Amino acid sequence: MSKILNSVAVCFVALSAPASAERITTLWHLVPLNSTPPTSVTWNQPFFEQKLLPVRLVRTTAEGNYGGKPLPAGTYLYLVFNDDRQIGYCTLKDRSVGHAAATLFIPILDQRPCFVDEDNDGKFEKTFSVFDKYGGPPTVRGSIKAASPFGGLIPFTEVDPTELPYDLRVSMTIRGKREPAKARVSFQFSKSLGAQWYDEWHRRGTNEPVYDVLNTEVRINQVSGDTADVTISYDPDAYMMTDNRNTLYGMHLPPFLKR
C-alpha cells in the first residue's frame, strides 16, 4: 500500500487520471516535531513524529455569503490544485467523533465548500464542493473546474501553515525480529486519519539494515534488548500525497507553487 519514496532521493511522480475524471491533489509537508532525530529508540514504541502541514493556509478576514450560506470571518482554508494547475482553497473537515461516525460509510454526505480566487486579488469569487477520501493524509474529491461564481466576494489573507487548527501527525515504529536487517519499520498517522499501512522491510536489493519510510531513511546500527541504536536522515523539503487507493507518493513542491 505504501509507495512513498526514499527521502534522500524523493522523486517527482506523475499520476495518470481518466480523461473524464479530475484529480485534485492535496500536498502535505512533513515537518519533524524535533529537527534533531533520535539516535536511540525503543522497540514497538513510536518515534520521530512529524506534523502534516499544508502548502499554504489562508484565513477569511470578513464574514461572507455563498449561495445563501454564511462563511464566518476567521475560517481557515488550505490549498489544493488539479492537473491544470488550477488552485482552490478548501475549508477544514469536521473531525469530531460524532460527525465521523455519521459519514464513515457515505463520505459524499460529508461535502463541504472550497473556494477559488481566480484573479489573485485576495478575494474568493467562486465556490465548489468536495468530500474527503477515507484514510491517510486528507485528500479531497471534487472539481475545481466546476467552480462557479457565488455573486459576491470573500476576502482572505495568507497565514503561517503552522496555524492549522488540527494536529495531524505521522510517527514510526520498529517492530519484528530484534536484528538490524530482519526488523520492520512501520508508520502510523493520527488516529483521526484512519487507514492501515504495511510495514517496510529493509531496502530492496541489499541486505543492509536500512529502511526507507516516508521521507526518512532509518539505519539500524545495532540492537540491545528492546533498544535500537539508529541513524536517521530525512528530507526537510519532502511533501506527500495519497491517491484514491490509499497509495502514498512523495515529491518536492511543484515549481508553479513555489514562491
The whole-number average pLDDT for the span 186-195 is 82
Q: What pLDDT score does 195 carry? A: 64
Q: Is the pLDDT of residue 149 over 50?
A: yes
Which of 52, 128, 116 has the alpha carbon at shortest distance from 86? 116
Rounded Cα–Cα distance for residues 150 and 236 (Å): 39
Per-residue pLDDT tens digits for 56-109: 999 999 999 998 999 999 999 999 999 999 999 999 987 555 545 455 556 566
Would you say the pTM of this structure is higher than 0.85?
Answer: yes
Q: What pLDDT score does 15 carry? A: 40
pLDDT grade for 139, boundaries at 50, 70 and 90: very high
Per-residue pLDDT tens digits for 122-136: 999 999 999 988 778
Cα R_g (the chain), whole angstroms? 20
Q: What pLDDT score does 95 carry? A: 57
Residues 6+ apart with CB under 8 A from 11: 5, 250, 251
Rounded Cα–Cα distance for residues 79 and 74 (Å): 16
Rounded Cα–Cα distance for residues 39 and 241 (Å): 28
Rounded Cα–Cα distance for residues 80 and 68 (Å): 24
